[in-house]
Structure 1
Amino acid sequence: MQRILLRALTPLLLCMMAAFSSACTMPPPGTAIQPCTDEAAYGARLFDERPRIAVATAYAPEFSVLLPSLEGAEEYQIHGVSYWTGELGGQPVVLFMTGVSVVNATMNTQRLLDDFNITDIVVSGVAGGADPSLSIGDVIVPARWAKYDETTYLRETVPGVFTAPFPGVRPLVPPYGFIGTRGVRVTTTNDPTPAPRLWFEVNSDLLAIASTASAKAELKRCDTDNLCLPTEPSFHFGGSGVSGSVFMDNADYRNYLHETFDAQVIEMETAAIAMVAYSNDVPFIAFRSVSDLAGGGTATQNEIRAFEHLAARNSAALVIAFMEHFPK
């Protein structure tokens, strides 16, 4: 509560001090937000004081299926990124696109937390399947996330033997040849000492709400063009998700990620969002619907173009049911 009050009052005081020079302005929704010229004021902005749940998507197909359900939508633009406030399933939210890949996801999620009063973060979208037992259209809610490409390229000391030069860069899981995944050093709101982490856990309370809400979420088998899946999609809770700055379309590496990380799905943003949430002490959860089997399944071409919109709608269905079941 103290942090929220400080964040809310600080920009007002700084803007009053800068009023005569117009150094800090807060435009109404629907206009681009101009950064304050005063660096301290810029770092302390809070444009919407109402506590809200953030709903993060990566790109247009994931975002566009949720926007029509956003009631009372108002748009803020911050450095070219649109953040939409309103109500979704009866809950006050901020809906936005992070942009594709971990750098965009990290940057624009932190901007969100700097500029809005966020209580929880929900991620919605599509992903490549890592577990071959999953089907396209299934919605996966992993219990934890890791960034698999935070790596050390190991030195080959003798043919076929790879080692790390010192402990700080040693892999935390069995490597894939000379590529070994290591942790990210992260500070938090309550602990300024960097500590290495591989896994970022989903909030258990949010996971329980999602599990209950799934009974009310209707998953689609056919898209609007009547392209239908061979089986009815279903929900899967638990296991792991992994993210990286890689469009993963290699079957051998997919199998490695599934076997080594217990990865259910592979994509490019969620672990970065999870890291930002962890650092800021904000509860987090992610819903990912399978759009294709990463690296290819039995189809003659990658299925993502055929099924990404259906998968995005299935993930969005759980988001809305989740909001409807979220405590008021």
Structure 2
Amino acid sequence: MVNAAAATQQMLDLFDIKGIVHFGIAGNVNDSLSIGDVTIPKQFAHTGIWSWLNPSAPSIPDAVAHLDVARYNVPKGEGANLLGSFAYHSEQFFSELGKPNTARPLVWAQTSQQWLDLAANLEGMELQQCVNSSLCLPKKPKLVVGLRGSSANIFVDNAAYRDFLIRNFGVSSVDMESAAVVMTSLSNGFPVVVIRGLSDMAGGQSGENAIQIFGSLAAQNAVKVVVQFIKTLP
């Protein structure tokens, strides 16, 4: 996250840039989507900001979400879990459009609506279905615009945490950079859009993670959308 933010800031400082088109692959946490699909989210949350709470202390009232480790005890509900819980926090957002040196709490960073509207015109475009002649996805991938995504310095490959993210944050994709890129762009007053190909089920699968098999396909589909999106820019 820090490296992504720093790289974005350097580009904005050193080059004559009109906006940021950020792309890559992501994990899928939305069961209505499939591996190979491409998502262009409208909002991103940084879900890597949390406090590990003292089990004997009161909870944090303004926390964005709580993850109670004891809920995942096996057998369920039996015994005390000394790991306690995590409280998720909002980001402290600084902007050149706001008061100098004054942060405001921000949970959802909104990508640029004008660019989202342009991207929506691409829904229905043809995407790649096969890695090679003998390995294809069961159904044709699609482009979806306007969902939510989350980012953290965590590679998610766990069904329980996947369910927690979609239940508490309503996100459809997880990655490790996008929220930082979006917030840095917005902080500097630049438009930004994120295009992510879904490479795996983020732990929702049975067996091994599919990123090694379909990661390249997801990346190629993301690039196809990026190329078409750039063509639509005025």
Q: Match for residue 156 of structure 1?
A: 55
**Aligned partners of 1:156 and 1:228: how far apart in 2?**
48
**1:64-83 correspondence to structure 2 within 5 Å:** none
* 1:171 maps onto 2:78 in alignment: no
Per-residue deviation, 1:133: 2.3
Give 1:254's aligned residue. 162
2:188 is aligned, of 276, 280, 288, to 280
CA deviation map 1:96-149 (0-9, x unaligned): xxxxxx121011111111111111111111100011221110111111001001
Q: Is the 8 A contact 2:29 2:204 kept in 1?
A: no
Query: Structure 1: which 4+ aligned runs deviate by more than 3 Å?
Result: none
Matches within 5 A, 1:84-103: 102-103=1-2
Larger radius of gyration: 1
Q: Which has the higher contact order (CA 8 A, sep 6+)?
A: 2
Alpha-carbon distance in structure 1 between the residues aligned to 2:134 and 2:188: 43
Amino acid at match of 2:2: V
- 8 A contact 1:128–1:266 mirrored in 2: yes
Greater share of residues in strand: 1
Q: Confirm or deny: 8 A CA contact 2:122 2:143 kept in the other structure.
A: no
Give CA-to-partner distance per residue, 1:241-292, whole Å, 9 cap, x none: 0000011111101101011111100010000001101110111111111101
Q: Which runs of 5+ in 2 are unaligned?
A: 69-84
The partner residue of 1:123 within 22, 26, 32 is 22
Taking the TM superposition and a 5 Å limit, the aligned residue runs for 1:86-235 are 102-157=1-56, 163-164=59-60, 170-172=62-64, 174-177=65-68, 178-191=85-98, 192=100, 193-215=102-124, 217-224=125-132, 226-235=134-143
Q: Work out the number of aligned pairs and report it.
A: 216
TM (norm. structure 2) is 0.88
What is the RMSD computed on CA atoms of the aligned residues?
1.5
SS in 1 for 2:123: helix
**Contact 2:152 2:175 (8 Å CA) reproduced:** yes
Q: Which residue of structure 2 lines up, in the alignment, with residue 237 of structure 1?
A: 145
1:289-300 to structure 2, matched below 5 A, reads 289-298=197-206, 300=207
Looking at structure 1, the residues matched to 227 and 11 of structure 2 have their Cα atoms a distance apart, in angstroms, of 21
Whichever residue aligns with residue 272 of structure 1, its letter is: A
